[in-house]
Structure 1
């Protein structure tokens, strides 16, 4: 890997760690990080009560840019991943896709997605 790619990987891991910490503070239990599935790698899999969330983490220069960074194609693949994970989870929870948007100097923004 080249230097820029390594730095991007490190920034991504730090952003995911911050998002996981933020979710824990909100009462979520982190089930997996960087969960590899056939169609996509999921940043965070979390559960709170009867909700299983596949969480995409986006870190950009502004919260607005982070919120806009999740495209429709990736969102569809994440929803399919959420359905697959829910089908194998105990109690078959409701599955959804969430986004945690991060930007320097700002509190994380947790956007709750598609719900059952």
Structure 2
């Protein structure tokens, strides 16, 4: 007797598509940062305090980067809440606690906005 196809939860396909678009946006943001001279230390870094989209370094500046992909710049900027910024700062503190090599670096909490048909916009200390 043939087995039934696996059941899918409602919205699973849309969730996977959003995840794929988000990962692609982070890849584009990382490439834009590298073009500006940053070295990517990690992408989708998970800590006990939360996830950091990109961690990058350029010289003595360590950037913890949140990536937002939206249809307009206004929507992208509005997508970052104060609570989310605090979570990223906490996750950055947790990440730094285990990496003494970077304790002397200047820390930045940056934002990269991705808007369709536009170059990625890097906003240093945008969080």
TM score, norm. by length of structure 2: 0.83
Asked if structure 2 preserves the Cα contact closer than 8 Å seen for 1:52 and 1:86, the reply is no
Question: How far apart are residue 97 of structure 1 and its match?
Answer: 1.0
1:7 equivalent to 2:17? Answer: yes
1:94 equivalent to 2:111? Answer: no
TM score, norm. by length of structure 1: 0.90
Runs (4+) of structure 1 exceeding 6 A deviation are: none
- What is the root-mean-square deviation of aligned Cα atoms in Å? 1.5
- Compare CA radii of gyration and give the structure with the larger one: 2
Per-residue CA distance 1:62-111 (angstroms, 9 max, x = gap): 12211221100010111122233334241421222111000101111111
Aligned residues: 114
Long gaps (5+) in structure 1: none
Report what 1:77 is aligned to.
87
Question: How far apart are residue 10 of structure 1 and its match?
Answer: 0.5
Report what 1:39 is aligned to.
49
Per-residue CA distance 1:22-43 (angstroms, 9 max, x = gap): 0000000000000000011111
Long gaps (5+) in structure 2: 1-8
Asked if structure 2 preserves the Cα contact closer than 8 Å seen for 1:101 and 1:110, the reply is yes
Q: Distance in 1 between matches of 2:123 and 2:65?
A: 9
Quick one: structure 1 residues 89 and 66, their matched pair in 2 at CA, closer, same or farther if it must change by over 3 Å?
Answer: farther
Per-residue CA distance 1:35-66 (angstroms, 9 max, x = gap): 00001111101011111111000000012211
